[in-house]
Structure 1
Amino acid sequence: MEDRDLAFMLERSPVLEFLVLMGSQTGVRLRLVGQRLRCVQLGHALLEYIDVVDAPSLERLFFWEIGKLKSFRKRNDDNHSTMNGSSGIKIGRAPNLRVLGYLQPGEQELGISNTIVVAGSKENILPSVQILSMEVQFGVRNAVKKVPGFLRCFPNLEMLHVYSPPISEESTGKVNLKFWQEGGPIKCIVQSMKKVFFYEFHGLRSELAFLKFIAETGRVLEHMVVLVAKECFSSGDDNVRAKLKPLASVKWNNKACQVQLFKSGRTNPGGPVYSNKIAPDFGFADPFDLLGH
């Protein structure tokens, strides 16, 4: 299906509520305009850009198993471009968007055209988003450095899901706690974040620094759930305890926060666990929380 065919179909589907696109290998370029569109899923595909132009009813926007573009492509005809192999996600009018993910800092560029004046300054934020999931390569410094900017776009975030993929050959250094502290407070972590899920914890210093920063600054954090990667158990329980020991010394901002540790049951190094059946089911408040389903 070519871009113009997809656009033609969407323009002539005024009552469409659920859209699923799967299996594209050519680079998806998608503009979303729909008064009734509530849920969009894009999976097993290469994403060039997705532009949420006008979707007032959109509540959920999902990406999973999104591949990296292998070539630079610039398009002057529609003001969209992809640079350095990254893909673009632009969100315009989507006032009811509550659930978003999996975003990939370092692989994707996030643009928000909804500018809000806060305390005399203009900020590009999505105040409606309450549940966010990210896939972060904690072994790649440039990827981790983009995470604060992503999180600042969601000032009212309540649930955060973070998937840490296996360490790749592209590892380019670690990020310590000082990096997060020097960057200053992140509003959603300080004021609204209640629950954090961390999947496939490997014990990296960058992973620990991220979790420590959340624990030490989150005022209303109620739960932190950590799933330890199965490979960490290959050297015995002592190895696991050594990797988790730094968390024991954390000075929790909310001392009532409950911490749960689990052994990940995953046996393959694929992407984050995801259910395209649960995603559009509005009976599940948090479709990324597959532990409770």
Structure 2
Amino acid sequence: MAPQNPRRSAGSRPATTELQPIDGMDVSMSEMEADLRQSTGLDHPDLMGAGMAMFLVYMYASIPNPPVSPAAPLASAVAARPPADGVDRISRLPDQILRNVVSRLPAKDAARTGALAARWRGLWLSVPLSVVDEQILPRHALTERMAPGGDTIWSRLAVAAASSALEAHPGPFRCAHLTRGHMASHEAEAKCWLQLLAAKGVQELVFINHPYPINSPLPAEIFSCVSVTKLHLGLWMLPSTAALPRSTRFPHLRELVLGFILMRDRDLAFLIERSPVLESLTMIARPTMLSLRLVSRSLRCVQVGMCGVDNITVVDAPCLERLFLWMSVPEKRSRIKIGHAPKLRMLGYWQPADHELEVGSTVIKESTKVSLSTVVPSVQILALEVQFDVRNDVKMVPTFLKRFPNVETLHIYSQGAGESKLDLKFWLDAGPIECVQSHVKKFVFQEFRGKRSELVFLKFIAERAQFLQKMIVMVSSSVHDVNAKLKPLTSAKWASEGCKLIVFKSSVPSNRGAPLWVFSMASDSSCRDPFGLETADGELNRDAYVLDHSSTL
């Protein structure tokens, strides 16, 4: 089932099973459960499968590739053949080289090298190890991650194998991906694992409670894993941070991903505060409304996906470059405040009707005048979601665009398939928009449905963007006779004579209801434009065709 935008349809919100009380929490489970159900509608029986399946797809996709793989091929067939004289030259290599070889193997293969020859015996215990429980399981068992349920034979196998590896090896661990165990049935093992990983210096930790239930308490030993540089947690209830020692911190943590974590805002603030080198923060499908206050000298990327957002306040984030919201679910109009963020370059996907913008101490309204104190000049890439058939959506678009005068790449995702009476006069009456007139070089319009209101906006951009080099129109799969629908663009008086109009059919189903998004790419600093996943520079969609706007379609 294709996911829908939760802003437009409650049917895509994640689902869960019945919650049970947990002793020792500083908040009653009934209170948390009420918040959870009210904000997400998780107890609706029709939502149980599709919502959770969608969330699981994105949560598992956000897991980084482990540094080892059981599928790695040999460099050549020649290397695989034994020498003709029967001499084992590999075993004669220096220890340092052999350790390097063993460290690149999955845990079970590393352990098996001890059977090759006496020279290899014990080597695997002297190298950093990678434990990835899904590499232990047969391929057909991996599809089980999309199914709810309790402990299974595969879960027990994964737990037993992980326990054996973590206990046998002295450490350190390059990475530990523990994602296949039904941890509600293995609470003692979960606690023991975190104790071992903390003592043995784990660097990359992915710890996911194989659903269900989602309210399993994460052992407090997680706060002892001070060596982690990457931490991914999924489907847990975070223990209260109120009683933790003041010295608690993650001094080396650079990447934090939280997938469907039950927690208070103050606990999230604690994690950020106690991670002094944290660069990337990702939250996926938080079950309660989010109120996020960003004070960090190190954060470079923050992304919030499939979460209910109350407010996000960037108080002091001098290194913040990317702030992303994707499929946010506001109960009411949420507020995003941008304070001190001098390096902020990328924003989106924002919804002008649902996200209220505050710059400095000024709440931006239609009547707010443009001034130095009400703009964010550092932003160069901006993405908006707009329902062109809803006047309240459209009327805030000019207001938003005026706050980002130096945008060079503008993405617009068209929501809905209705029609409005807004014409070109509406856009002209909005007054000068500096980024459109003087800075936008690349304009991407996603999910063009051929509606007049969409075409009017395209024409406005074409006739006002003096430095536009490329207009990319991604056509919805439901659009017929695209040439006829876009023909009015050829008669427009294009402000930029050298601009190319590029049209292609979107690979995303038109009923999907949300832009394409990949969390891992969005947080990767080498990805120059995470909003343009289908239009990477030099790799246009195979169905694309380039038009000279002065020619006839």
Q: TM bucket by the smaller chain?
A: 0.7 to 0.9
Deviation at 1:199, TM superposition (A): 0.4
8 Å Cα contact 1:162-1:197 kept in structure 2: yes
Alpha-carbon displacement from aligned partner over 1:157-205 (angstroms, at most 9, x marks no partner)? 000011002326xx6x331100011121100001111000000001122
Q: Residue 132 of structure 1 aligns with which residue?
A: 382
Q: Residue 247 of structure 1 aligns with which residue?
A: 489
Alpha-carbon displacement from aligned partner over 1:120-177 (angstroms, at most 9, x marks no partner)? 9554000000000010011101110000000001011000011002326xx6x33110
Structure 1 CA distance, aligned partners of 2:276 and 2:482?
53
Q: Residue 106 of structure 1 aligns with which residue?
A: 353
8 Å Cα contact 2:385-2:415 kept in structure 1: yes
Deviation at 1:248, TM superposition (A): 1.6
Structure 2 CA distance, aligned partners of 1:161 and 1:111?
21
8 Å Cα contact 1:201-1:228 kept in structure 2: yes
Q: How does 1:61-72 map to 2 (within 5 A)?
A: 61-69=323-331
Would you say how many aligned residue pairs link Structure 1 and Structure 2?
A: 266
Return the structure number with greater strand share. 1
Matched, 1:213 2:475: no
Which stretch has the larger CA shift, 181-190 or 29-38?
181-190
| Structure 1 residues 96 and 174: alpha-carbon distance in aligned structure 2, compared to 1, 3 A threshold | same
8 Å Cα contact 1:114-1:126 kept in structure 2: no
1:275 maps to amino acid: V
Pick one of 299, 306, 311 that aligns with 1:44.
306
Pick one of 283, 289, 292 that aligns with 2:532.
289
Structure 2 CA distance, aligned partners of 1:68 and 1:105?
12
1:26 maps to amino acid: T
Matched, 1:16 2:16: no
Q: Residue 189 of structure 1 aligns with which residue?
A: 436
Identity, % of aligned positions:
51
Return the structure number with greater helix share. 2
8 Å Cα contact 2:359-2:373 kept in structure 1: no
Matched, 1:6 2:268: yes
Q: Residue 88 of structure 1 aligns with which residue?
A: 335
Structure 2 CA distance, aligned partners of 1:243 and 1:68?
34
Matched, 1:157 2:407: yes
Pick one of 313, 317, 331 that aligns with 1:55.
317
2:324 maps to amino acid: F
Structure 2 CA distance, aligned partners of 1:121 and 1:249?
35
Q: CA RMSD in A?
A: 1.6
Question: Which runs of 5 or more residues in structure 1 are unaligned?
Answer: 70-84, 234-238
Structure 1 CA distance, aligned partners of 2:371 and 2:497?
34
Deviation at 1:68, TM superposition (A): 2.9
Q: Residue 280 of structure 1 aligns with which residue?
A: 523
Pick one of 463, 473, 479 that aligns with 1:232.
479
Larger RCO: 1 or 2 (CA < 8 Å, sep 6+):
1
> 4+ residue stretches of structure 1 with deviation over 6 A?
none
Matched, 1:269 2:546: no
Q: TM-score, normalised by structure 2?
A: 0.47
Q: Residue 64 of structure 2 aligns with which residue?
A: none
2:474 maps to amino acid: L
8 Å Cα contact 2:412-2:446 kept in structure 1: yes
Alpha-carbon displacement from aligned partner over 1:266-291 (angstroms, at most 9, x marks no partner)? 22423111111111111122221212
Q: Residue 74 of structure 1 aligns with which residue?
A: none
2:275 maps to amino acid: S
Which stretch has the larger CA shift, 10-19 or 30-39?
10-19
Structure 1 CA distance, aligned partners of 2:276 and 2:476?
45
2:410 maps to amino acid: L
Deviation at 1:210, TM superposition (A): 1.1
Q: Residue 424 of structure 2 aligns with which residue?
A: 177
Structure 2 CA distance, aligned partners of 1:29 and 1:288?
24
Structure 2 CA distance, aligned partners of 1:122 and 1:128?
12
8 Å Cα contact 1:99-1:129 kept in structure 2: yes
2:499 maps to amino acid: C
Structure 2 CA distance, aligned partners of 1:175 and 1:219?
23
1:287 maps to amino acid: P
8 Å Cα contact 1:19-1:39 kept in structure 2: yes
Structure 1 CA distance, aligned partners of 2:460 and 2:352?
18
Deviation at 1:209, TM superposition (A): 1.4
